[in-house]
A and B are shown apart, each in its own frame.
Chain A
């Protein structure tokens, strides 16, 4: 993608006025028309690439440059080379954030996608009030993340939260959900799942509806059970969509930010006293805007970028195999 960025630039300034000067060579308007034919598509797609260059490519490159410095926010800047990366790799707090991020990702995304698949399958059947249910599962998506997080954080409150009240009915002691990693991970995962399961289900549902009906008819005639049809026809046919859903979930999960921040209740970005639920995105913000160490934060941002790439490659190799053992 990045390779294409440069191409529109030279094409643009070659306006019609310039071309008209060379027209005397004899081939007439033909050259202009051909130029028009070749240049216009580039010109038309260029806004995207220009925006991408300004808001995507430039920050990417600039972050890399900053990450090579001891770059204090509103302060001194000294060139360090790769020292920030070396320090980061040895930094327990960073790896703690990575573990938290992966932990939350695993316990939120896997149930979420399985549930979304089941929901989509159910909604693909003939049921009463289908439109109502289809809209219903998408509804959580229109609420703001912050609102979701605030409400869930109250539900998970130590003293007056509904979840502790409910658990209390079975004699469970009041849990301070923020206090331990695994309880915090569960709490945060429920927020994510509540909001995103329906979204993924709708995408999978749309994909299911493109599967030709005659495949199912043929399978029925051969005596395949609905369950078998689901695993042998639906899931394999969904593969491209599943790959997409998994990619997007991976990117979203690894850059998780708003939910844990709101769950903490104050904007220190520490993710609990010992960073029990500090994600990598929080770590970056904390380093840059709480400890004012932009260089270190930039290095962490690049590490996150690398992590996402690795995550996507792993997930791709998994999803590629779905239904592939024919």
Chain B
């Protein structure tokens, strides 16, 4: 961030210069990169440090324990793990792209959200071919769709899956009971078989909390929108904003319209706290009980427990989601071609996306494994989440990801998603009238795709 208005121009010019130099320099250095440098002999002689960068709120990827274990067992390959930011599309992704383009600065292993996988697939030159290090053998460990999303446009394996979203509804048990609603997760799940029923529960909840400072039923537009989109997408050709030919269909895909209309109806009914997700205000409201429900893919549990803090243990709980199964999010790990130790990085990546890494991450951050052996492991299947009132999250998410088909996401999915959700936020907050919101929504998405 520029820290001086007067120097703004100068700094901007300097940044441009740096970028420009980076752009020119990368053209020449690219071809020589893929060759692994440092043979296995020299690698064994002195310890190699492998850096891992991820993103995400709260407990994010949950690799603290897994990394500790690896480092204790592998004195020759030490892993340094760092979570860079809680914002993916507008902080992590641009920085990653700039570093990839510059040819230096990325970690040896980088986390990538599913939303940007289309973008990365189209840029095979930036990533190491994991097949070269024998990771093709992992194919049987993953659901077909998760595996195929890790292949680039040339058909080479460049990324392996970490977690998978699944879908549930997080709710504040204490606020529900205060509003005269049931608190038990089985009963809560039965309250809302579909979104209409969810709306009725919401109205009841809001009627019991009419005051200005009282909690709202929902957090805001983003989580609800993504949940509904992930449920409707599979019913409409398994796509979101782009069809499988990478043509924008934001205005034609009924799944998008349904998700939009659902958000609109909840917003119009005054059930949202008008908070955009992954903002400081949103985090504060999770902690202070500013709202009672939000859509929760598995990884969101780690975000909630991280934001709410230990003092709120037991206040949040997890119930079935209205409207059935869906997948929102889930990530991948890849090794950039610029890594100096691609072989060792591939080994670490293999471990983190292997059964053990998956299980440890699930225990730490509730990120549900995409790895099939890990899903069947009793440590996952029988795990209860202490923070969420000992909810049997292994069982709940295991059921929700069965037969799951992750959506096809186009190359510019991340950009379109950001732009379109911005309009939802504006509509919810009142700066865009409800009547004009759909047109604005399509316009913003179309512009971001262009």
CB-CB under 8 A from A196, the residues of chain B are 5
Most buried by A among B20, B89, B123: B20
> Is A54 in contact with chain B by the CB < 8 A criterion?
yes
Q: In the complex, which of the residues B1, B2, B20, B430 contacts A176, with contact meaning CB atoms closer than 8 Å?
A: B430
Interface: B14 (CB within 8 A):
yes
Q: Does B415 contact A (CB under 8 A)?
A: yes
Q: Is B9 within 8 A of A261, CB to CB?
A: no
Chain A residues contacting B13 (CB-CB under 8 Å) are 55-56, 59-60
Interface residues of B in 396-450 (CB under 8 A from A): 415, 418-419, 422-423, 425-427, 429-432, 440, 447-448
User: Does B16 belong to the interface (CB within 8 Å)?
Assistant: yes
Question: Cα distance A286–B423 when bound, in Å?
Answer: 16
Task: Please give, as numbers and ranges, the residues of chain B lying within 8 Å of A179 by CB-CB distance.
Answer: 429-431
- Interface residues of A, dominant DSSP: helix
Collect the chain A residues with CB atoms within 8 Å of residue B87's CB. 266-267
Q: Which residue of B12, B422, B432 is within 8 Å of A268 (Cβ)?
A: B422
Per-residue contact bits, chain A 63-93, to B (CB 8 Å; 1 contact, 0 not): 1001000000111000000000000000001
| B361 contacts chain A at the CB level, 8 A cutoff | no
Given A176-B429, A251-B6, A266-B90, does the pair A74, B123 have CB atoms closer than 8 Å? yes
The verdict on A312 contacting chain B, using a C-beta distance below 8 Å, is no
- Residues 218-259 of chain A: 1 if any B CB is under 8 Å from the residue's CB, otherwise 0? 000000000000000000000000000000100110011111
In the complex, are the beta carbons of A74 and B90 less than 8 A apart? Answer: no
Is there an interface contact between B14 and A274, defined as CB atoms closer than 8 Å? no
A66 to B1, CA, bound (A): 23
Number of interface residues of B (CB under 8 A): 47
- Pair A273/B20 contact, Cβ less than 8 Å: no
Task: Evaluate contact between B1 and A261: CB separation under 8 angstroms.
Answer: yes
Q: Tell me whether A270 is interfacial, beta carbon within 8 Å.
A: yes
Could you tell me if B432 and A59 are in contact, using CB atoms closer than 8 angstroms? no
Q: Given the known A-B contacts A145-B5, A266-B279, A272-B431, are A58 and B12 also in contact in the complex, defined by CB atoms under 8 Å?
A: no
Cross-chain contact A258 with B94 (CB below 8 angstroms) = no
Pair A74/B101 contact, Cβ less than 8 Å: yes
Query: With a CB–CB cut-off of 8 A, which chain A residues contact B122?
Result: 75
Q: How far is the CA of A259 from the CA of B2 in the complex (A)?
A: 10
Q: Which residues of B contact A146 (CB under 8 A)?
A: 1, 3
Residue of B nearest to A272 (CB): B431
Which B residue sits closest to A290, measured CB to CB?
A: B90
Contact A258 B101, beta carbon cutoff 8 Å: no
With a cutoff of 8 Å between Cβ atoms, the chain A residues found around residue B448 in the complex are 291
Cα-based distance from A196 to B6 in the complex (angstroms): 10
Q: Is the CB of A252 within 8 A of B8?
A: yes
Closest CB-CB distance, B322 to chain A, in whole Å? 27
Q: Establish whether residues B90 and A258, one from each chain, have CB atoms under 8 Å apart when the complex forms.
A: no
Nearest CB on B from A319, distance (A): 18
Q: Are A269 and B5 in contact (CB under 8 A)?
A: no
Nearest A-chain residue to B97, judged by Cβ: A74
Tell me, in angstroms, the Cα distance from A60 to B427 when the chains sit together: 39
Residues of B within 8 A of A248 (CB): 6
- Asked if A289 is an interface residue, CB under 8 A from chain B, the answer is yes
B425 near A273: Cβ-Cβ < 8 Å = yes
Q: Is B387 engaged at the interface, CB distance under 8 Å to the other chain?
A: no
Q: Which residues of B contact A137 (CB under 8 A)?
A: none
User: CB distance B422 to A270 under 8 Å?
Assistant: yes
Chain B residues closer than 8 Å to A117, beta-carbon distance:
none
B279 touches A59 (CB 8 A): no
Complex CA–CA separation, A56 to B97 (angstroms):
24
Report if B308 contacts A (CB, 8 A).
no
Chain A residues with CB under 8 Å of B429's CB are: 176, 179, 273
Given known pairs A59-B17, A62-B20, A75-B123, the reply for A289 and B94 (CB within 8 Å) is yes
> How far does the Cβ of B386 sit from chain A's closest Cβ, in whole Å?
31
Contact of B422 among A54, A59, A273 (CB under 8 A): A273
Whether A25 sits at the interface, judged by CB under 8 Å, is no
Contact at B16–A63, with CB atoms within 8 Å? yes
Measured in the bound complex, the distance between the Cα atoms of B132 and A79 in whole Å is: 36
Complex: chain B residue closest to A261, CB-CB? B1
Other-chain contact of A93, B3, B4, B447 (Cβ < 8 Å): B447
Evaluate contact between A274 and B101: CB separation under 8 angstroms.
no
A124 partner residues in chain B, CB cutoff 8 A: none
Q: Could you count the A-B residue pairs with CB atoms below 8 Å apart for me: how many are there?
A: 123
* A144 contacts partner chain B, Cβ-Cβ < 8 Å: yes
Instruction: Check A62/B276 contact, CB under 8 A, given A192-B5, A257-B8.
Output: no
* Contact, CB under 8 Å: B98 / A73: yes
Interface membership of chain B positions 300-336, coded 1 if the CB is closer than 8 angstroms to chain A and 0 otherwise: 0000000000000000000000000000000000000
Interface residues of B in 96-121 (CB under 8 A from A): 97-98, 100-101
- A281-B418 in contact (CB<8A): no
CB of B94 within 8 A of CB of A290, answer yes
Asked if B266 is at the interface of the complex by the 8 Å CB criterion, the answer is no
Q: Is B91 an interface residue (CB 8 A)?
A: yes
Which residues from chain A contact B278 at a C-beta distance below 8 Å? Answer: 266
Q: Does A292 contact B (CB under 8 A)?
A: yes
Residues in B with CB closer than 8 Å to A266 are 87, 90, 276, 278-279
Select one of B14, B280, B426 contacting A273, CB under 8 A: B426
A276 at the interface (CB under 8 A from B): yes
How long is the Cα–Cα vector from A267 to B78 in the complex, in angstroms?
33
A28 CB–B CB distance under 8 Å = no
Residue of B nearest to A289 (CB): B94
Complex contact A73–B97 (CB within 8 A):
yes
Which residues of B, 245-304, contact A by the 8 Å Cβ criterion? 276, 278-281
Contacts of B440 in A (CB 8 A): 274
- The answer on a CB contact under 8 Å between B3 and A274 is no
- Contact yes or no, A289 B425, CB < 8 A: no
Per-residue B-contact encoding for A117-157, CB less than 8 Å = 1, 0 else: 00000000000000000000000000011100000000000
In the docked arrangement, what's the CA distance between A145 and B6, Å? Answer: 11
Query: Is B17 within 8 A of A292, CB to CB?
Result: no
Tell whether, in the assembled complex, residue B14 and residue A55 are in contact, meaning their CB atoms are under 8 Å apart: yes
Let me know if A180 is at the binding interface, CB within 8 A: yes
| Interface residues in A188-236 (C-beta closer than 8 Å to B) | 192, 195-196
Q: Which residues of B contact A16 (CB under 8 A)?
A: none
B126 within 8 A of A: yes
Contacts of A269 in B (CB 8 A): 90
Closest A residue to B101 using CB positions: A74
Enumerate chain A interface residues (CB-CB to B < 8 A).
Answer: 54-56, 58-60, 62-63, 66, 73-75, 93, 144-146, 176, 179-180, 192, 195-196, 248, 251-252, 255-259, 261-262, 265-270, 272-274, 276, 281, 289-292, 301
> B residues touching A (Cβ–Cβ < 8 Å)?
1-6, 8-10, 12-14, 16-17, 20, 87, 89-91, 94, 97-98, 100-101, 122-123, 126, 276, 278-281, 415, 418-419, 422-423, 425-427, 429-432, 440, 447-448
Q: Give the top 7 A-B pairs by smallest Cβ distance, nearest first.
A: A273-B426, A74-B101, A289-B94, A59-B16, A59-B17, A255-B8, A62-B20
- Given A256-B8, A291-B419, 10 more pairs with CB closer than 8 A: A62-B16, A74-B126, A145-B1, A176-B429, A192-B5, A255-B12, A257-B8, A257-B12, A259-B5, A265-B280
